[in-house]
Structure 1
Amino acid sequence: MCYEPKPATARTAQVNRDAAARYDLANRQDFTDARKGLIAELPGNVVGDGGSVIFDPGALEWIGEDNPPPDSVDPSLWRQSRLIRLGGLYRVADGIYQVRGNDIANLTVVEGEDGLIVIDCMAGVESAAQGMALVRAHISDKPVVAVIYTHTHIDHYGGVKGVVDPADVASGKVPIIAPGHQFDKYAIGENVIAGNAMARRSFYAFGGLLDLNERGHITCGIGPLSTAGPTVSYISPTDLITETGTKRDIAGVEFEFLYAPDTEAPEEMHIWIPRFKALTCAENANHTLHNIQTLRGARTRDARNFARYLDETLERWGDEAEVHYGPHTWPVWGNERLTAFLESQRDTYKYIHDQALRLANKGYTPLEAAEVIELPAELGRDWANRGYHGTLHHDVRAVFTKELGMWDGDPVSLHPHPPVESARRFVEFAGAQAVLTEGRRAFDSGDYRWAAQILHALVFAEPDNTAARELQADAYEQMGYQAEGPQWRGIFLSAAKELRDGVPPPPYTTASEDTILAMPVEILFDFVAVHVIGEKAAEVDIGIDLDFTDIGEQWTMWMRRGVLNARRGKSSTPRLTITGAKPAITSVLLKPSTVEQLSAAGTLQVDGDRAALTELDAVLDDFDPAFPIVTP
């Protein structure tokens, strides 16, 4: 049985009305900018194989231009969502165009003399293909002559096969330009090695498990969310940018790059196109405060680097730039407004970094600092610094994590009991009925944070306590309705839904077949290694040589003392040797039982003791993509 979300309480409605006074709602510049340059509306649904709807732009029509914010939505988030739902093909400048609003990320196309250069490819093949069809119908039918990834996140490369034929990349006809020394490692590793946990958390944070309505998902703050799983593709870069000042001439257009590692992504770059006086700082400058540490779970970023590279960008090109376009949201036009935008973003990240460490040096813990740090009024009222992706609260805590590590400095948090054991002890001491009574009192008084916190102990100690689960769900729901940050809203509302309805199946997986097959071999071994059940593998002794015939690489892997290692080359005495193409060997490593079928089909050659694969199979774990979060 699926329960309907409950309405906002009188307390939540009042909190959201009061919040409006904090916001500069009279400033309508973003609405002008978000509509500027519209060439063509979106043609309709983004459709996948078999006619499945990947994204329906009509699903957001209820977020109307003139509709006031409902009681269940923070007024700032409602405003941002009204902007996000605007979509179509737009002219950014002469020769630069964007498709926005049919995917969480934008598709940017630069028209050169004899071809098109695509900057970022959206998250899904279907949305990217729809975007390219719009460009070809209204702008140019020139061939794609280059693809540029600004950074290593899936919503910027996932649609690449909707933009370019992989054969053209493989032949060298179309380069894929990307930042950094290890783009493949970070792009694929982030989404696959910890992909099961990251995907589960992502569905919470981005509202992927919620209905699209005023008591559920609105938008994710930087773009609309696909209503069904897109096809995620990947093609490795062929031209890596590792130094600031590097230039490329593509189809008669000069591009200059600023290498900005360890910012919003481990590998990221800014791009200057002097012909058009056009600049993008990728996701280091957005119409939102960004994450210093994502709630979905990625490596902690360096807030000081955000500020450092934004300032370097201003120093290099700030006097000339006339338009800033981003891979999310809408552009900023005019040199004065553009420089003010980048300066405001720069100072926001530096303020967060500096003030978090100031309070750390005074002895504050991360949570204590997050409760008291507020942005100066000039920064805080700037719409581009509002918390539609990151929030000030969790960004402050992330600075502590980046600079000081996971321990908050309080000895009580160094070796606590695990959640279930702590909860049982707490409930045994306080009494289940007393906890429930206090939870009800807190909820009725509008203290939803305390209600959720104290009821957490009862739910973990007694997961079948229906009254506790339902009351905690009610508290999380109101916290979601009050959240300005869409990821906080998504997490709280997803928690309420899960407490009421149970754990839902995931809508899709980020570890797609295309992504797994694109993994460099060293990352493939890392992926296999995190599946090894250490205690079961402690006595296993396996050595396997692998000859990847399609890529001309030879590797040896071995498992001893519960650890799987691998290195290039052959070993002297392998128990088993497997020869074949990388896709077939990948299948065997992830599911050793497939070896018989593949070898019988002639896809693989297997020499030696096949019992080694049986032993490997016996110690590999499976990951449930629907593990519980709000219950034990």
Structure 2
Amino acid sequence: MRQFGVLGLAMLVALSANAADPKDATKATIDINNQVKEDLPFSDKKDFENAQKGFIAKQDVVTIKNEKGDVVWDLEAYKKYIGLDKPSPDTVNPSLWRNAQLNMINGLFEVTDGIYQVRGYDLSNITFIKGNTGWIVFDPLISQETAKAALDFINKELGERPVTGVFYSHSHIDHFGGVRGIVDEKDVTSGKVPIVASLGFTEHAVSENVIAGNAMGRRAVYMYGALLPRNEKGGVNGGLGQTTSTGVATMIKPTDIIKETGEERTIDGVKMVFQYTPGTEAPTEMNIWFPDKKALWMAENTTNTMHNILTLRGAQVRDALKWSSYLQETIDMWGDDVEVKFQSHHWPMWGQKDIVQYFKKQRDMYKYTHDQTVRLMNQGYIGSEISEMIEFPDEIGKSWSSRGYYGTLRHNSRAVYQRYMGWYNGNPSDLNNLPPADAAVKYVEYMGGEQEAIKKAQADFDKGNYRWVAEVLKHVVFANPESESGKALLADAYEQMGYQAESGPWRSVYLQGAYELRNGTPSAGGTTTASPDIIKNMPPEMLFDYLAVRILPEKAAGKAFAMNLNFTDLDEKYTLYVENSVLNHTKKLAEKPDVSLELTKAVLDDVQLGNITLEKAIADGTIKLDGDPNVLKDFVAMLDNFNFWFNIVTP
């Protein structure tokens, strides 16, 4: 799932206040950004018309706080410098600025009769469909605080109605995390309020954050620019929306599962037909057709931007070919009848012909990326070469909905290459190459030393060759992390690259890199990659896999033991084996384990959440232990703890 809620907004402001001042745009950056204005059809205002169509009301101030009074969402910070009447500053790519302006159009909107959206209350949209007796809610945002604020807002404007159903379009947290802000779990478990999702939702919603959660969370600081100031030299836009909320992310397990295309449901009088689209934007996802309204909800399978085939924070590579094939299926199923399409990000579109043309461009955007990458790959080009060569035809490339505000053609083409060919590019020198710090020392030596490298890099910086400056100076910094002049010039290069970036995440990555070069790697804050609801929904097997990646081989070396676990509330039993410095698990129980534990999954969850220590749980009998307690102590001692704030732009 996406890694959100990295830092509280109050901490962000405090850290940013002490940051080194960013620089102005250089002439080279200004010239490049001015050329964007010439190359793209900025006179086309259709998106602005669509983004404002159906407007009902908005709140003057959209600042949302948690129970402690901490701000978890603040659109006001962006209003200070982004507006429909404000031209793009020199420090922002004009195309990205346009996207930010569109995403700042916030409030309550009517999509079509009985379908409403609240936009601008999180990275994603929350959709309300009017049933016979209440609201059916689609994708309740990231945080329970923002979802509750949106529900309160629509109830105030259109009359209070209970929530009679909830839908999760897919397994990313900005599409389910706010659920406890709109519904009580008792109403779900009693059957009063169904929660509908597609096959595999719970497994995928939980799993993506667990195994690689720490690394993904750290890189998400870069992708979403968590520490960037909210101004024209800092965070401007996240591509899919302005940014991410930082409230409490929750989850309630679905009660109804969609398993195949063509399934139908009628909830609170609203009829729906489903298209099951696994392996597209998420491992499990679904589109929904409302035949009585001729309205099509596209989840996140189409948005008003190019999406990611591989996210910059890290994830499994998505299948661009499969993604495009499902969009063709969407056209085949409902293209003749659709009158309005809407989704979980951005703004809707109306008109059958326009919608079908839009679907075709979205389809072909992913298909072209796939086909042309594979063509060039089969000509012998590697990922970095392909990303320089591949270009969209104008029909796709100059369509606003195909622009790279979130994904980009450059890194998506590399992702397609990676999916087929992996990390190795075929060149023998790259099969066992030196790690960055070791290679950097030799690079700098061959370049004539640190000062000579910086001198030459400065000359290239003055010419606007920022990509090359970054390539050279990363070696200087990795060879000598104390090189203040090297870090300063590298930060300046990253900054200009950020100012030029059309992609919100690319901008954030460059500017976050510049921030950390100038101010050092942060040590405060962090991210909770597994919230209480995520942990509670982890099956034991997933927990064991997570524990296995924490094994310290030097502490496990030479150890061999078996540990039986009996989860009395699940009626499930497992044996954990440690041998060969590896942890394995099985349901075939060891007959003579070294230690046995009897406990409930709920108790284990409390131990993971820090609500109770393992020692106390054993002492008070909450966990019953039989056998050698030293084996359990040895096991706990061999588990590694991950440092969230590991270095990225320095070694």
Measured against the shorter chain, the TM-score band is over 0.9
| RMSD of Structure 2 on Structure 1 (CA) | 1.7
Whole-angstrom distance in 2 between the partners of 1:601 and 1:31: 63
Assess if the C-alpha contact under 8 Å between 1:545 and 1:576 holds in 2. Answer: yes
- 1:408 aligns with one of 425, 428, 431: 425
- Percent of counterpart pairs with the same letter? 44
| 2:574 pairs with 1:555 | yes
CA contact 1:175–1:239 (8 Å) conserved in 2:
yes
The alignment status of 1:195 with 2:213, answered yes or no, reads yes
Separation (CA, whole Å) in 2 of partners of 1:238 and 1:531: 33
Relative distance call for 1:567 and 1:109 in structure 2 (3 A) is: farther
In the aligned structure 2, how far is the partner of 1:507 from the partner of 1:89? 33
Post-superposition offset of 1:23: 1.2
Taking structure 1 as reference, are residues 542 and 175 closer, same or farther at Cα in structure 2, changes over 3 Å only?
Answer: farther
User: Match for residue 47 of structure 1?
Assistant: 65
1:123 corresponds to which residue?
142
Secondary structure (helix, strand or coil) at the match of 1:488 reads: helix
Tell me which residue corresponds to 2:194: 175
Q: Which of these residues, 540, 553, 572, is aligned with residue 534 of structure 1?
A: 553
Match of 1:581 in 2: 600
1:469 is displaced (CA, Å) by 0.6
Residue 124 of structure 2: aligned partner: 105
Query: Where in structure 2 are the equivalents of 1:181-580 lying within 5 Å?
Result: 182-226=200-244, 229-430=246-447, 431-504=449-522, 505-568=524-587, 570-580=589-599
More displaced 10-residue stretch of structure 1: 607-616 or 491-500: 607-616
Distance 2:430 2:610 in 1: 40
Which of 22, 31, 36 is matched with 2:53 structurally? 36
Match of 1:598, SS state, is helix
Does the C-alpha gap of structure 1 residues 618 and 499 become closer, same or farther in structure 2, counting only changes over 3 Å? same
Q: Letter of the aligned partner of 1:531 in structure 2?
A: R
Q: How many residues align?
A: 630
Distance of 2:458 and 2:224 partners within structure 1: 29
The residue identity in structure 2 corresponding to 1:211 is P
Would you say the 8 A contact 1:532–1:564 is kept in 2? yes
Give unpaired runs (5+ residues) of structure 1: none
- What letter matches 1:313 in structure 2? T
User: How far did 1:147 drift?
Assistant: 1.4
Secondary structure in 2 matching 1:442: helix
Question: What SS does structure 1 have at the residue aligned with 2:49?
Answer: helix
| Partner Cα distance (1:183, 1:518) in 2 | 11
- Which of 14, 23, 31 is the equivalent residue of 1:6? 23
- How far apart, CA to CA, are the structure 2 residues paired with 1:370 and 1:446? 20
Deviations 1:443-486 (A, max 9, x none): 11110000010011110010101110111001100000011111
Report the equivalent of 2:13.
none
Q: SS state of the match for residue 292, structure 2?
A: helix
| Conserved 8 A contact 2:307-2:404 | yes
Once the 2 structures are TM-superposed, how far is the Cα of residue 229 of structure 1 from its aligned partner?
A: 2.1
Distance 1:589 1:59 in 2: 36
Q: From the superposition, tell whether residues 570 and 133 of structure 1 become closer, same or farther in structure 2 (CA, over 3 Å).
A: farther
Residues 304 and 340 of structure 1: CA distance in aligned 2, closer, same or farther (over 3 Å): same
What is the DSSP-based 3-state SS (H/G/I as helix, E as strand, rest coil) of the residue aligned with 2:613? Answer: helix
Q: What residue identity is the alignment partner of 1:258? A: Q
Q: Which moved more, 1:81-90 or 1:135-144?
A: 135-144
The answer to which of 141-150 and 6-15 deviates more is: 141-150
- In structure 2, runs of 5+ residues without a counterpart are 1-17
Letter in 1 for 2:406: H
Instruction: Confirm or deny: 8 A CA contact 1:176 1:237 kept in the other structure.
Output: yes
Per the alignment, do residues 137 and 592 of structure 1 end up closer, same or farther by CA in structure 2, a change over 3 Å counting? closer
Tell me the alpha carbon deviations over residues 312-354 of structure 1, each in whole angstroms, 9 at most, x when there is no partner.
0110011111111110011111111111111111111111111
> How much has 1:421 moved relative to structure 2?
0.7
Question: Which is further off, 561-570 or 349-358?
Answer: 561-570
Counterpart AA for 1:469: K
Aligned residue identity for 2:578:
M
Are residues 508 and 40 of structure 1, via their aligned partners in 2, closer, same or farther at CA, if it must alter by over 3 Å? farther
Match of 2:6 in 1: none
Question: Shift of residue 490 of structure 1?
Answer: 0.5
Residue 59 (structure 1) aligned with residue 83 (structure 2): no
1:144-159 matches, within 5 Å, as 144-159=163-178
Deviation at 1:592? 13
Q: Which amino acid is 1:19 matched to?
A: V
Distance in 2 of aligned mates of 1:579 and 1:60: 53
Post-superposition offset of 1:408: 2.1
8 Å contact kept, 2:606–2:612 = no
Alpha-carbon separation, structure 2, partners of 1:97 and 1:67: 28
The normalised TM-score by structure 1 is 0.97
Q: Provide TM-score, normalisation by structure 2.
A: 0.94
Change (3 A) 1:134 1:591: closer
Gap change, CA 1:482 and 1:547, over 3 Å in 2: same
CA contact (8 A) 1:90 1:98 kept: yes
**Where does residue 612 of structure 1 map in the other structure?**
631
CA distance in 2, matches of 1:27, 1:109: 30
Q: Closer, same or farther in 2 for the Cα pair 1:388/1:469, shift >3 Å? A: same
Q: Deviations over 1:482-540 (max 9, x none)?
A: 11111111000000000010112345323223322221222111222221113321322
Q: Secondary structure at the match of 1:531?
A: coil
Cα offset, 1:295, TM superposition: 0.6
C-alpha displacement of 1:140? 4.6
1:100–1:591 distance in 2 versus 1, CA, 3 Å = closer
Write out per-residue CA displacement over residues 549-591 of structure 1, whole angstroms, 9 at most, x where no aligned residue. 3333322222221111223364322222222331322454788
Rounded to whole Å, the distance in 1 between the matches of 2:234 and 2:198 is: 37
Q: Distance in 2 between matches of 1:108 and 1:124?
A: 15
CA distance in 1, matches of 2:167, 2:558: 47
2:288 is paired with a residue whose SS is: strand
